[in-house]
Chain A
Amino acid sequence: MNKIGLIIKREYLTRVRKRSFLILTFLGPILMAAIYIIPIMLALNSSTDHLRVAVVDESHWFEDRFTSNKEHTFVTMPGQPIDSVKEMVKTGVFDIALYVPPTQLNIPSNATVYSIRQVPMEVETYISSVMEKEIEEQKLMAKGVDPEIVSAVKTDVNLQIMRMDENGNEKETFTKVQFTLGIILSMLVYMFIMFFGGQVMQGVSEEKTNRIIEVIISSVKPFQLMMGKIIGVSLVALTQFVMWILLTIVLYVGFSAFIGISHPDMLSQGTVMAQEITSTDIMSNESVQSILQIVHSIDFSTIIACFLIFFILGYLLYATLYAAIGSLVDNNTDSQQFTLPVTVPLMVAIISSFYIVNNPDSSLAVWLSMIPFTSPISMMVRIPFGVPIWQIVVSVLLLACTFVLMTWIAAKIYRTGILMYGKKLTYKEIFKWLKYK
């Protein structure tokens, strides 16, 4: 036991001290934070520009329809020819000129925007939405619809989705949040298994190629070395994970504080934007309350517990396989034929997760989340949607049993493989190793 501890310590320290680990640890949260921060920064920057829009409306349909707000001023220029307004854009009196050509009988449906610089997306969207709305109303009125009815028809639909359980308890769910969570969680498990499983494989084959292996296994049992390595690397993975979460929080708090000091008025906007990313336009009104509702609807303790269990067991299962593969290869070039059977179930799981996320309770989803080789990923897709507890238990038990079985098999392969040099290996031969004493 003491020796396993020494091996774990070495595996852990040599990896954590590596420059690549530090880079990844700090780069990860920065990348994650960037996903949140860049849109906010962009929003902050664009809003500092005040755009002046000159409207030349020769059809006279929209003259008083555009309303100015704090970002944009709309100035109607009645009777001015568009060419002289374009000159004013060139000289910088206006930033943008909107030209609606004259129409006699028909409702105008085209217009042109002139600008020196790129027209912001939001301005473009605003102009076309105002015009579309106006045209729609005019068309309806032309068909003889009462203007009162036209305005009464406008409704915002707020679709509420309630999930019921056997006891009749109802709970509101937010599909988009669950969707995003499911994908993120399964991707995380997938990435961690591939990355750290790969590290185990590399570590084993390094010891073999270095020829230090025989020195070590004259002191410890091959099984101890294998498990020490697997556990050591798993601690590295957990360290990385915890560091990422901590750093993300630090970055997020730091960024919020920075915004709070330099742009006090922007803080609320920034927060709303950040929330909109996760809860994309679920509801535009009462946003604070709805966000709280969303947060409460997610069972974080279950998600985190399941994530840790499935991540750790999934990693352990694959790490034993990767260790066995690492023991078979002399150099990295011939590892392909042995890694393929291991990567295939992972690929199947991650590709099918895009299907599962749309049908989390379909039979395929249930099966994939039960089969031990895909369950760590497939189950994580389903967890945010709520999974019956018995399914989680069965899946965890199956995964744990498979892990024990695979460890036994992998240890047998590993033990023989690490001392085998310069021999072309076939699956038939490896199968024989299982029977060696």
Chain B
Amino acid sequence: MTKISVNEVTKRYGDHTALDRICIDIPERCIYGLLGPNGAGKTTLIRILNQITAPDTGEVLINGEKLSQNHIARIGYLPEERGLYKKMKVGEQAIYLAELKGIKKAEAQKRLKVWFEKFEIDGWWDKKVEELSKGMQQKIQFITTIIHEPDILIFDEPFSGFDPINANLLKESILGLRDKGATILLSTHNMASVEELCDNITLVNKGKSILQGKVGDIKRQHDTHKREIIIRTEEPQPIYALGDTYNNIKVEPTEAANEIKLTTYSASPNELLGQLMQFGELVSYKEVLPSMNDIFIQEVQSQNQAS
């Protein structure tokens, strides 16, 4: 079922078109990656979803209803540019932000205690924000984003400023929230986390959606038929000769003394494999799909060249 549906949304700032008839359908209970180079229009789209700005044309539907003030309490938003009141105490501030989302004070306090313990910052309740490290502030911001238990979460670069241990804690928390039923929109430049977390993505460039779909499907679509074969043999010469004959085969030694790696871009490997097996023993045959990083660069560059 579609949770969020962005229909033909256009937003202009003066002469600049930030979003150009963009359409995105975000299924329920999934982590949806919103990717794109800087200035592509991601933040504008996120701000429209949060009703910080309104689209010029087009509409946004949540559960089939037109986006309205009622939805605010059901969305949790962690902006890329985020901060806290420096002079305010941590606990007081977290309660204030929760109250703004419509949570009663007592309830907010109860829920905050749980999360503060989980993130190991429960000793910081009465400290002023300015005394906290950046990573500590990030944790508090994350908690205040999810404290009202919204069914839609929007994270813009959530991992920036986290060390690997805390990044992992955050990652697990995000997955946990999805499993509990939240729909998550994740905007990031960190392609590794996209591959780890996202079910679906949309790649935006210059206000237009240029690529959409399930991560797995997209990878397959961009398959270059790259395969890696490892052969164990005592006499590698015939195999190197093979590499000289076919120009789409690369042969190189591996770290193991008697194993050789072949890289090929052929859709039908059977013939090659047949030949190879005469020279030695097949250790592995692997399909190498392109990384999201490669796909991102390839798609954006080809679109920029075309226009």
Contacts and interface: CB of A to CB of B under 8 A. Distances in A.
B72 A218 contact: yes
A419 B52 contact: yes
Contacts of B78: 215
B52 A212 contact: no
Contacts of B99: 6
Highest count of chain B CB atoms <10 Å: which of A10, A215, A218: A218
A210 interface: yes
B220 to A, nearest CB: 36
B83 A3 contact: no
Mostly, the B contact residues are loop
Contacts of A211: 79, 81-83
Interface residues of B, number: 30
A212 B84 contact: yes
Interface stretch (B85-93, B188-196, B276-284): B85-93
Nearest to B73: A219
Interface in B37-89: 47, 50-54, 56, 72, 75, 77-79, 81-88
A437 interface: yes
A215 B82 contact: yes
Interface string B1-19: 0000000000001100000
A212 B97 CA distance: 10
A219 B108 CA distance: 15
B151 to A, nearest CB: 15
Nearest to A5: B99
A211 B141 CA distance: 12
Nearest to B79: A214
A437 B55 CA distance: 8
Given A6-B96, A10-B96, A218 B50 contact: yes
A194 B269 CA distance: 80
A89 to B, nearest CB: 63
Interface string A192-216: 0000000000000011001110111
A426 interface: no
Given A10-B96, A14-B87, A437-B56, A219 B82 contact: no
A432 interface: yes
B82 A437 contact: no
Interface residues of A, number: 23
A133 B54 CA distance: 85
Contacts of B13: 436
Interface in B105-132: none
A212 B82 contact: yes
A38 B126 CA distance: 44
B144 interface: yes
B52 A215 contact: no
A217 interface: yes
A212 B78 CA distance: 10
Contacts of A14: 85, 87-88
Contact of A437 (B54, B87, B144): B54
Nearest to B78: A215
Given A211-B81, A419-B47, 14 more contacts: A14-B87, A14-B88, A210-B84, A210-B85, A211-B82, A211-B83, A214-B79, A214-B82, A215-B79, A215-B97, A215-B144, A218-B72, A432-B14, A437-B56
Interface of B: 13-14, 47, 50-54, 56, 72, 75, 77-79, 81-88, 96-97, 99-101, 141, 144-145
Interface of A: 3, 6-7, 10, 14, 206-207, 210-212, 214-220, 222, 419, 421, 432, 436-437
10 contacts: A10-B96, A14-B85, A214-B79, A215-B78, A216-B100, A218-B52, A219-B72, A219-B97, A220-B100, A437-B54
Give the 3 A-B CB pairs with smallest separation, nearest first.
A211-B83, A214-B79, A210-B83
